[in-house]
Homo-oligomer: A and B are copies of this chain.
Amino acid sequence: MKYCPNCAATITVKIPADDSRERHVCEACGSIHYQNPRNVVGSIPIYGDKVLLCRRAIEPRHGFWTLPAGFMELGESTSDGAARETFEEAGAVVDIGPLYSLLNVPHAEQVHLFYLATMKTPNFSAGEESLEVALFDEQDIPWNDLAFPTVKQTLEWFFADRASGALNSEFHVRSRDVLRTEKI
């Protein structure tokens, strides 16, 4: 941020009087422009024993597989955003269940939230941001061609919890921080 979005004056980066962190401050109009992490909301769409994945038609990670997910929009809830992204990217209508995973990605200034989701029918289709969409059995998951560490970790947790029976009762949200150095 170089210019004030309110008045177009040049922004100063400084610690405001009653603060402890550097902020983007406009000394012309007095506004402070805070910056905060963004939420990426998505789902684990389940049909029977299979999970629905999308192959990305956009950068970053064009051509790699992901769970349907995207930035949460103003005016919607986390679960509504997860359902919307699932429909937009994978053409699938889902019943959103409990929050399953929360992964912090501080270096990307993001928080990733994935909900368990049940597909009502085996209907799906590639949205504009997907090259293809497919249902996968656990043994067919393209582990080496996944798009993001948060997707890989969420799928690893999911299959382990499904095997142990943990998904059949209440569970704590699976959560950890993703390091900048993590690769798929």
Contacts and interface: CB of A to CB of B under 8 A. Distances in A.
What class of interface size applies to chain A in its complex with B?
35 or more
Contacts of A79: 104, 175
A117 interface: no
Nearest to A76: B106
Given A36-B71, A111-B39, A171-B172, A3 B1 contact: no
A102 B99 contact: yes
Contact of A170 (B99, B107, B171, B177): B171
Nearest to A10: B8
A43 to B, nearest CB: 15
Copies of this subunit = 2
A9 to B, nearest CB: 9
A163 interface: no
Residue among A5, A21, A128 having the largest count of chain B Cβ atoms under 10 Å: A5
A37 B75 CA distance: 8
Given A5-B1, A170-B170, A104 B78 contact: yes
Most chain B CB neighbours (cut-off 10 Å) among A3, A21, A36, A107: A36
A74 B35 contact: yes
Interface in A1-19: 1-8, 11, 18
Contact of A172 (B34, B170, B177): B170
Contacts of A39: 36-37, 39, 111
A18 B129 CA distance: 10
Given A170-B172, A171-B172, A34 B106 contact: no
A173 interface: yes
A172 B169 CA distance: 9
